[in-house]
Chain A
């Protein structure tokens, strides 16, 4: 077992090439999913076949890294076989853990693959020590990916109470809602993260020009309007511009992404086991750069050296970032 002071860097891979790039750049673990609705990044051209996962696991293990398989959507009634097979295939491919959210799947994995490590997906939204204890006791969960609704102090308090590891997101896309408990996307498009592994899917996005403005629509709803010469953010529903009462603007959240690099020292002190980078949909070169930078930042912190300045800034260039819920003022 690693020393509690050295955090595990958990990195995304949407393709075998991205997996190799992440391992080469110093990822301790790589997480990925199968090419279907069993995972929450069910995007065209993304993810792994069982054979690719086997190959990827061999490559990762040779490089001293682990492979975690996200099977973190909620199975459709009557179609459990697809999700059960995904767990069986992950076990067969030599995965080091499966990341699950559905309690029925957790029960299945515990019963059929007792030796396969079970991590609780952020999609399960276990947001306090009692909920975490429930998953640990009932399903033998070894690690919980914490929902992005908690402050650093709350995370520290949780770690004092629970017997399993915790993992937190430190970089990349940011949900403002408790994940796994959001049907905003399906309300507008019929496709949801929980059921289909997609949010605000590109298939339902339309742009049109109107009076010098670019209007971005999701399904039948306008999500944003920007002057034609300005860059239009992707119309993710909760990052849209709306009006509510006298307020006009980003009711839920600005089009920001998460950057908690500056909080790495505090999160380490809070007892977090693993730092997770979001972005299985991102390119191989992005993965290489972001993993390299985070590796450097984490190693510097562990060695008691200052975190190299600007290492991560350029990765979110052109984007606004936030430390999100980790700071209490966000609420």
Chain B
């Protein structure tokens, strides 16, 4: 079976202003060779009110540009307001929903189709079988999986008619907490956070005491400091059965990043050459692909 591999733009994980948000998705709609775009708040329910009224226009513009729009659910659901967000999302209409917490499955109807986000623990074929039977159409595998697992799960997914997707670009989401670290490092409480996370458009870097770049905090979320890039692993991943590649929005030129991925997927250029171009595009960025290689996640080995 030959499928044309597709590109998904994952949900924006960071707290951008409403104008930045609108401009970003307008440009994605008009210029990026991306097949589908996930919109919505995954990290912190307090951020959604800032841009919720921008959603209809963005959805319309993206759809007009031929892109599928998916609505993403919140990753950690504890408050009443957050449970309501999930319930409203399930009833919101005809757009497919990306499930980022299994809370969503208590609201989705038995025959309702959905996408599974990378924060859901899909480690094995038993879990995949359950999700297939519940209506999953696409599964973005957890970023910490090694290639052997990716390969096995991709083949299994295709057997179930599920599209296997991989975390291919962006700082890796590593943890989520009840505690807001952005507020904490600013000496604030979560309930009175003054939205300090908005100061860091790609998260706030966390360095070791020896000055090594290590992690990044984004509100209640912790990400890698490195930017995962599987651009140079695309051949391997295609052989392993992966058919969809996820890029996570960052403040750099995402249209250019998407074009590089598209060109490698279309076999116009080699991964190695694209990797060089990516380095030029994002100077100073440290890349990683260690999880895929079964090493520690921060490691990077070029093709």
**CB neighbours of A325 from chain B (8 A):** 178-179
B: contact size bracket: 35 or more
Interface residues of A, dominant DSSP:
mixed
Across the interface, name the chain A residue whose C-beta is closest to B156: A77
Residue of A nearest to B129 (CB): A104
B222 touches A128 (CB 8 A): no
Q: How far is the CA of A148 from the CA of B153 in the complex (A)?
A: 30
The CA of A124 and the CA of B120, in the complex, are separated in Å by 10
Of the listed residues B87, B119, B142, B177, the one surrounded by the most CB atoms of chain A closer than 10 A to its CB is B177
What is the bound-complex CA distance between A330 and B184, given in angstroms? 10
A89 to chain B, nearest CB (A): 17
Flag if A107 contacts B130 (CB, 8 Å): yes
* B52 lies within 8 A of chain A by Cβ: no
Contacting residue for B124 out of A74, A149, A150, A241, CB 8 A? A74
In the complex, the answer to whether A149 meets B123 with C-beta atoms within 8 Å is no
- Residue pair B128, A104 in contact (C-beta under 8 Å): yes
Assembled-state Cα–Cα distance A245/B217 (Å): 11
The 5 closest A-B pairs by CB, nearest first: A104-B126, A149-B178, A187-B297, A74-B123, A104-B127
Interface segment out of the listed B12-20, B56-64, B99-107, B253-261 = B99-107
Most chain B Cβ neighbours within 10 Å, of A133, A177, A195, A241: A177
Cβ of B217: which chain A residues have Cβ within 8 Å of it?
Answer: 244, 251
Report if B290 contacts A (CB, 8 A): yes
Q: Among B2-10, B204-212, B263-271, B276-284, which stretch is in contact with chain A?
A: B204-212
A103 to B105, CA, bound (A): 12
Chain A nearest CB, measured from B183 CB (Å): 8
Q: Which of A128, A178, A221, A253 contacts B208 (CB 8 A)?
A: A221
Q: Are A78 and B152 in contact (CB under 8 A)?
A: yes
A177 to chain B, nearest CB (A): 4
| Known contacts A77-B153, A80-B126, A105-B126, A223 near B179 by CB under 8 Å | no
Is B301 at the interface (CB under 8 A from chain A)? no
B106 near A130 with CB under 8 A, answer: yes
Number of A-B contacts (CB under 8 A): 226
- Determine if B148 is an interface residue (Cβ-Cβ < 8 Å): yes
What residue of chain A has the Cβ atom nearest to residue B144's Cβ? A183
Q: How far is the CB of A181 from chain B (nearest CB, A)?
A: 6
A230 to chain B, nearest CB (A): 14
A72 CB to nearest B CB, Å: 11
CA distance A223 to B214 in the complex (A): 10
Specify which chain B residues have a CB less than 8 angstroms from the CB of A243 in the assembled complex. 206-209
Question: When each residue 127-148 of chain B gets 1 if its CB lies under 8 Å from chain A and 0 otherwise, what string results?
Answer: 1111100000000001111001
**Distance from A148 Cβ to chain B, minimum over Cβ atoms (Å):** 8
| Seed contacts A77-B123, A104-B128, A245-B204; 14 additional CB < 8 Å A-B pairs | A103-B130, A128-B78, A131-B102, A177-B222, A183-B291, A184-B175, A186-B291, A187-B144, A223-B208, A244-B207, A251-B181, A251-B184, A251-B206, A325-B179
10 contacts between A and B (CB under 8 A): A78-B152, A127-B78, A154-B78, A180-B121, A181-B119, A184-B175, A190-B294, A240-B208, A242-B207, A243-B209
Whether A329 and B126, one on each chain, are in contact in the complex, defined by CB atoms closer than 8 angstroms, is: no
Stretch of B28-36, B185-193, B230-238 on the interface side? B185-193
A256 within 8 Å of B (CB atoms): no
Given A80-B125, A331-B191, the answer on whether A187 and B208 have CB atoms closer than 8 Å is no
For B190-225 the 0/1 string (1 means CB < 8 A from A) is 110000000000001111111010110100001010
Shortest Cβ distance from residue A149 to the other chain B in the assembled complex, whole angstroms: 3
B174-A74 in contact (CB<8A): no
| Interface residues of B, dominant DSSP | mixed
Confirm or deny: A126 has a beta carbon within 8 angstroms of a beta carbon on chain B. yes
Is the CB of B77 closer than 8 A to any CB of chain A? Answer: yes
Chain B residue with Cβ nearest A253: B179
A329 to B149, CA, bound (A): 40
Contact residues in B for A219 (Cβ distance below 8 Å):
296, 298
Judge whether A130 and B175 touch: CB under 8 Å: no
Residues of the A chain whose Cβ atoms lie less than 8 Å from the Cβ of B291:
183, 186-187
CA distance A329 to B189 in the complex (A): 7
Query: Known contacts A75-B124, A134-B103, A190-B295; is A178 also within 8 Å of B130 by CB?
Result: no
Write the chain B residue with the least CB distance to A223: B208
Q: Beyond A107-B130, A183-B174, is A130–B123 a contact (Cβ under 8 Å)?
A: no
User: Does A76 belong to the interface (CB within 8 Å)?
Assistant: yes
Known contacts A183-B175, A241-B209; A188/B189 CB under 8 A: no
CB pair B86–A77 under 8 Å, yes or no, is no
| Interface contact B296-A150, CB-CB below 8 Å | no
A194 touching B126 in the complex, CB below 8 Å, given contacts A181-B175, A183-B172, A331-B180: no
List chain B residues, Cβ under 8 A from A42.
Answer: none
